[in-house]
Amino acid sequence: MAAPELLSDEGYRADGRRPAELRKIRARMGVFAQADGSAYIEQGNTKALAVVYGPHEMRGSRSKALPDRALVNCQYSVATFGTGERRRRPRGDRQTGELALQLQQTFEAAILTQLHPRSQIDIYVQILQADGGNYCAGVNAATLAVMDAGIPMRDYVCACSAGLAEDTPLADLSSPEEAVGGPRLVLALLPASGQIALLQLSARLHQERLEAVLEAAGQACRALHAVLDRVVRERLREVTALLGD
């Protein structure tokens, strides 16, 4: 079975993008009134929704409360209608469990948890339409939601995926590009300091190419950061206008 061309001869990808180009991003904050913070993001055809509750008192077992910092509780689920074939289990299988753990790890490093000891912050991410870069869209939506909730963070957490076509690194893979089976790198970055909160690579990538792909993912994250920053400032302007001068 011949793999479809990732990059045409003119240097365009299957959906007409350049190798380092991101998909169109649309984001909204403050989508729900009930939750402390919520956000919705669309990256191309991937749609993700994130909702944040907290910081609030520990639910469930009090014994799990950490004496010096807040506990970040994450849940990641993909809607049953989100993929091409109907998914039987939106969450509970190993893959979504692992992604929820990674989400927790990423945000525990980014949120200033020392400011809220013995409390809990809940982050729920729902992928409404999965078209590649699902986890990254989830992380970006969660960042916006945490900002909407007013929870202090070290920096934005921007996540992006990157792949490789022959020798050219590609940024922000879509679902058909992921299905080809080439290497796929997921990077969650704090743009200001350049620190990597999460790094995950699947499928084979030669060691020599690692730096190029990492660099491409890093650039994509920084570009994403600019977009998200604009969204946050827009929202802030909106909110202050509503509240009056």
Partner 1 sequence: MKATPLSNCERRFLLRAIEERKRLDGRQCYDYRNVRISFGADYGCCIVELGKTRVLAQVSCELVPPKPNRPTEGILFFNLELSPMAAPGFEPGRQSELLVKLNRLIERCLRNSRCIDTESLCVVAGEKVWQIRLDLHLLNHDGNIIDAASIAGIVALCHFRRPDVSVQGEEVTVYAPEERDPVPLSIHHMPICVSFAFFQQGTYLLVDPSEREERVMDGLLVIAMNKHREICTIQSSGGIMLVKDQVLRCSKITAVKVAEITELIQKALENDQKVRKEGGKFGFAESIPNQKITAFKMESAAVNTNNVEEQAEEIITKADPPSEVFAKPILHTPGTAQIGEGIENSWGDLEESEREEAAEEESESEAAAFECQTVETEDTSTMKETKKDEPIVLSDSEEEEVVILEPQELPRKTRTQTNLKQENTSKKAFTKRRRKKRAAY
Q: Return the residue of 62, 86, 88, 94 that touches partner 1, per CB under 8 A.
A: 94
Binding mask 33-72 for partner 1 (x = CB under 8 A): ----------------------------------------
For partner 1, give the closer residue by CB, 21 or 108. Answer: 108
Among 18, 56, 181, 234, binds partner 1 (CB under 8 A): 181
User: Alpha-carbon distance 123 to 108, whole Å?
Assistant: 11
| 102 near partner 1 (CB under 8 A) | yes
- Burial pattern 166-190, b for ≥16 Cβ within 10 A else e, equals eebbbbbbbbebbebebbbbbbbbb
Q: Taking the complex as a whole, how short is the minimal distance between the CB of residue 181 and partner 1, in angstroms?
A: 7
Q: Cβ 148 to partner 1, closest distance in Å?
A: 23
By CB under 8 A, name the one of 45, 83, 105, 168 that touches partner 1.
105
Q: Which stretch binds partner 1 (CB under 8 A): 21-29, 37-45, 159-167, 208-216?
A: 208-216
> What 8-state DSSP symbol labels residue 228?
H
Determine if 98 is a binding residue for partner 1 (CB under 8 A): yes
Residue 100 buriedness (CB in 10 A; 0-12 / 13-18 / 19+):
buried
132 within 8 A of 161, measured Cβ to Cβ: yes
Q: Which of 195, 230, 233, 237 contacts partner 1 by CB under 8 A?
A: 195
Compute how many other C-beta atoms are within 10 angstroms of the C-beta atom of residue 57: 10
Angle between helices 94-110 and 134-148 (to 10 degrees): 40
Site membership for partner 1, residue 97 (CB under 8 A): yes
Which 8-state DSSP code applies to residue 167? Answer: T
3-class state of residue 235 by DSSP: helix
Tokens of 15: 């959906």
Rounded Cα distance between 74 and 121, Å, is 8
128 contributes a contact to partner 1 by CB under 8 A: no
Match 């929202």 to its residue by tokens: 235
Nearer to partner 1, 85 or 245 (CB): 85
Q: Is 180 in the site for partner 1 (CB under 8 A)?
A: no
For partner 1, the closer of residues 25 and 139 by Cβ is 139
**Residues in touch with partner 1 (CB under 8 A):** 85, 94-95, 97-98, 101-102, 105-106, 108-109, 181, 183, 185, 190, 193-208, 210-211, 214-215, 218
